[in-house]
Amino acid sequence: TIPDLRDPVRQALRSVLEVARPHADGELASYIPELTHADPEALGAALVSIRGTVHEVGDSESTFTIQSVSKPFVFALALEQSGLTEVIRHVGVEPSGEPFNAISLEAASGRPLNPMINAGAIVMSSLIAGDTAEEKFAEIHAGLNAFAARELDLDESVFESEHATGDRNRALAYLTQAAGTLGSTAEVATGAYFRQCSVAVNARDLAIMAATLANGGTNPVSGERVIREDVARWTTAVMTSCGMYDASGDWLVHVGLPAKSGVGGGIVAIQPEQFGIGTFSPRLDERGNSVRGIVVLRTLSERYGLHMLQHR
Ligand code: GLN
């Protein structure tokens, strides 16, 4: 192929996408039945610089649900609304080393171990302003829109599917309610959380959202300050230690970029003060992380020396 001399970043992304494409292993998430309707072959990526330049390749405009990639952004919104001291009363910041849906509560305090696993994320949704699930979701939705610099849709059929099959998440919510760490009733918290997970995005949206964190909280595309700089730093820190569930340590060694995955097939990754990346490919490994998304990010990191601890 002819090199894309006008956009070498796009050229680099395109080449890395072709490294990832043959990795056809993994399975679509099926515990939320609606997610099995995704095109298993879809593969896209985007990179957005802190100057707001967008580079995108493959199926970067295909939509999928944000799922757990929403967690760092809602954690950031909770921090912005309530401050670190209050948020930390409700959730820890320690890696759990456990799967995303683990029953993971500290014995003494009743806090979920961190906000990147379901138990902690549901508690974060419960802390967002609003009395009902609809009111809390309206706040969350406005925040996610600000991170993405556009109005995002709610995928109603995924929402209904999550709502119909979300008993494990309800159980986590009730456990935190019993422990006194939930900020609302379990019903309100899960109602907001199921909607939040069902927001439809594409890889470009994720890259813009990630670039907003990389840029210290100001969206480089819209110019809007979405969160304070310290909130962006705390959020990125927790993504570094907890973003890839029980693969977080492995990820830190091999990729070395703060990241967050979701069972819709999306991953965001950040190089602070440089850029945000969004990837999409729906087949997941046994930990619920996108197989090809991992290859894209690992290859980019290795080829271009992106590891955060790389000696420069
Ligand atoms: N909505 C999903 C759940 O709660 C999100 C999980 C994920 O993306 N890892 O199970």
Tell me which H or E stretch contains 279.
strand 275-280
Query: Rounded to whole angstroms, how far apart are CA atoms 169 and 179?
Result: 15
Our answer to whether residue 304 is catalytic in this structure is no
Our answer to whether residue 263 is catalytic in this structure is yes
Domain termination site, one of 197, 214, 244: 197
pLDDT of amino acid 5: 77
Residue 312 counted as domain residue? no
Q: 24: number of CA atoms within 13 Å, CB side? A: 4
pLDDT of amino acid 1: 55
What's the CA-to-centroid distance between 167 and ligand 1, angstroms?
Answer: 12
Number of domains in the chain: 2
Going by alpha carbons, the residue nearest to atom 6 of ligand 1 is 68
Token pair listed for 57: 């390749």
Annotated binding-site residue? 222: no
Query: Rounded to whole angstroms, how far apart are CA atoms 200 and 205?
Result: 10
Tell me which H or E stretch contains 143.
helix 133-148
pLDDT of amino acid 104: 83
> Are 280 and 295 within 8 A, CB to CB?
no
What's the CA-to-centroid distance between 58 and ligand 1, angstroms?
Answer: 25
* Residue 288 Cβ < 6 Å to ligand 1: yes
Burial of 151 (0-12, 13-18, 19+ CB in 10 A): exposed
Query: Which atom of ligand 1 lies nearest, measured to the CA of 68?
Result: 8
pLDDT of amino acid 312: 82
pLDDT of amino acid 166: 97
Residue 153 counted as domain residue? yes
Domain termination site, one of 197, 213, 236: 197
Token pair listed for 91: 């959730």
Note whether 79 and 186 are same-domain residues: yes
Closest of 117, 122, 121 to residue 102, by C-alpha: 117
What's the CA-to-centroid distance between 274 and ligand 1, angstroms?
Answer: 28
pTM over 0.95: yes
What values do phi and psi take at 253, rounded to 5?
A: -70, -45
ipTM of the assembly? 0.96
Annotated binding-site residue? 118: yes
> Are 176 and 123 within 8 A, CB to CB?
yes
Note whether 118 and 177 are same-domain residues: yes
Q: Which residues of the chain have pLDDT under 70?
A: 1-3
Annotated binding-site residue? 174: no
Our answer to whether residue 174 is catalytic in this structure is no
Query: Which atom of ligand 1 lies nearest, measured to the CA of 288?
Result: 9
Domain hosting 206: range is 8-64+200-304
pLDDT of amino acid 228: 98
Note whether 72 and 161 are same-domain residues: yes
Note whether 28 and 111 are same-domain residues: no
> Could you tell me the CA-to-CA distances from 90 to 70, 123, 177, 219 in Å, in that order?
18, 7, 11, 28
Residue 269 counted as domain residue? yes
* Residue 34 Cβ < 6 Å to ligand 1: no
